[in-house]
Amino acid sequence: MKRSTFDALLSFLGGVSWAFVIVGAWVTFQSLVFLGIVPALMFTFLFIFLAIFLLLVLETMSMARERNDMMAKQNQLLEEIRESVKDSSTDA
């Protein structure tokens, strides 16, 4: 099945986002460990929470795109059915 450029871009951004979460959490923790373990962990969890929220936004965009494509296919099929019913009713 052929994927669109938008789907490929969303997939790439999803992978990059997971890498950003992992590397960013490590860098955040290492940067703030001089304040102590507890503040460093709190800021790291805050960073992870925000980054995963942005991942959810990307996934929501992907799901909305899939839903939109599915509805377009359904509309096309319904129009074809309507045309065939209309043609068969005019023949009778």
The per-residue pLDDT for range 5-33, each reduced to its tens digit, is 877 887 888 888 889 999 999 999 999 99
What is the dihedral angle through the alpha carbons of 12, 15, 18, 24, rounded to the nearest 10 degrees?
-60
CA atoms within a 13 Å half-sphere pointing along the CA-CB vector of 18: 6
**Token code pair at residue 56:** 């959810």
- Phi then psi dihedrals of residue 52, to 5 deg: -70, -30
The per-residue pLDDT for range 44-53, each reduced to its tens digit, is 999 999 999 9
The per-residue pLDDT for range 32-85, each reduced to its tens digit, is 999 999 999 999 999 999 999 988 988 898 889 889 989 999 999 999 999 988
